[in-house]
């Protein structure tokens, strides 16, 4: 059976981030890049963290759920989360007492090629790459 290099999920509700992590872990664990090397554990863990942050924020700050796409490329993992809001994420001062503010900083610090694409029909897609 050929390896499927792309995962596509429509997510809604409070359990969306957990569903996204489970599906992405299952999809990416044990996969090999074009050169036959297994995905490094640090890249997998980083991808799961960023997926969790992006999906959590999409579900928390929009009304229509979100769509997750994860693609394994030869040099990294491409993550895209599409939601119904036109508002761009805003970096805010992280709260050391557990009130958030870390997510967008993590995405920009741990990922590369962070892009926000707005759609003519409304909504946006956030793209981030996790290098391998």
Q: What is the tens place of the pLDDT at every residue in 11-57?
A: 999 899 999 999 999 999 866 554 556 788 999 999 999 999 999 99
Q: Of residues 74 and 7, which shows the higher confidence score?
A: 7
Question: What mean pLDDT value characterizes the chain?
Answer: 88
pTM: 0.88
Identify whether the C-beta of residue 65 lies closer than 8 Å to the C-beta of residue 15. Answer: no
pLDDT of residue 100: 72
**Separation between Cα atoms, residue 102 and residue 36, nearest integer Å:** 34
Provide the pLDDT confidence category of residue 116 given band limits of 50, 70 and 90. Answer: very high
Query: Who wins on pLDDT, 97 or 17?
Result: 17
Q: What pLDDT does 62 receive?
A: 87
Q: What are phi and psi of 7, to 5 degrees?
A: -110, 135
Cβ contact 131:78 at 8 Å: no
């Amino acid at each position: 059976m050929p390896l499927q290099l792309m995962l596509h999920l429509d997510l809604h509700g409070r359990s969306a981030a957990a569903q996204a992590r489970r599906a992405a872990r299952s999809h990416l664990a044990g996969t090999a890049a074009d050169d036959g090397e297994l995905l490094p554990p640090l890249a997998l863990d980083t991808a799961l963290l960023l997926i969790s942050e992006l999906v959590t924020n999409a579900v928390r700050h929009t009304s229509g759920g979100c769509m997750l796409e994860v693609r394994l490329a030869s040099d990294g993992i491409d993550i895209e989360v599409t939601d119904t809001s036109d508002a761009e994420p805003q970096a805010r001062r992280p709260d050391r007492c557990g009130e958030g503010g870390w997510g967008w900083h993590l995405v920009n610090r741990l990922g590369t090629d962070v892009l926000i694409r707005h759609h003519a029909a409304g909504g946006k897609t956030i793209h981030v790459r996790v290098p391998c």
